[in-house]
């Protein structure tokens, strides 16, 4: 059983990277491109904090999705998610240790998933692995 898990680990790691990058990317497209449409982002100014968040989500989500510059992209995305948690969820609610009450579960999970990829790398199926050959 252990050998099977070891063989599949890089593939499952890649799956986590691909899905989490995909999810971050769509947060950015919702903010910047209006797809999918989220009414809260109507009339979003690109030079606002939320506009900057959209740029980071779009660019670094795409980099993580394809596995290009993965460790760097994960470093930026992890820091971004931590900042999003503290600025967008903790500050308005004053609920530091209760992400369920301040709506920050997604930001916390993104932060720690991307933090993992800083150290673990992209796994299988990445442009980084193709560049290294």
Whole-model pTM: value is: 0.93
Task: Name the one residue in this structure whose structure tokens are 């994960």.
Answer: 74
| Predicted pLDDT at 133 | 65
Percent of the chain with pLDDT over 90: 85
The verdict on whether omega for the bond into residue 25 sits within 30 degrees of 0, i.e. cis, is: no
Q: Give yes or no for a contact between 76 and 60, defined as CB atoms under 8 angstroms apart.
A: yes
| Predicted pLDDT at 52 | 97
The answer to whether the Cα torsion of 71, 73, 75, 81 is positive or negative is: negative
Residue 96 clears pLDDT 90, i.e. is over it: no
Query: What is the number of domains present in the chain?
Result: 1
Q: Which domain holds residue 57?
A: 2-131
């Amino acid at each position: 059983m252990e050998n099977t898990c070891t063989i599949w680990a890089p593939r499952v790691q890649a799956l986590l990277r691909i899905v989490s990058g995909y999810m971050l990317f769509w947060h950015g497209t919702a903010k910047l491109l209006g797809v999918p449409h989220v009414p809260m982002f109507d009339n979003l100014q690109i030079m606002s904090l939320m506009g900057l968040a959209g740029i980071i989500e779009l660019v670094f989500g795409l980099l993580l999705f394809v596995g290009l510059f993965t460790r760097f992209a994960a470093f930026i995305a992890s820091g971004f998610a931590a900042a999003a948690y503290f600025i967008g969820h903790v500050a308005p609610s004053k609920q530091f240790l209760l992400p369920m009450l301040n709506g920050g579960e997604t930001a916390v999970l993104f932060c720690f998933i991307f933090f993992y990829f800083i150290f673990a790398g992209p796994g299988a199926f990445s442009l980084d692995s193709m560049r290294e050959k």
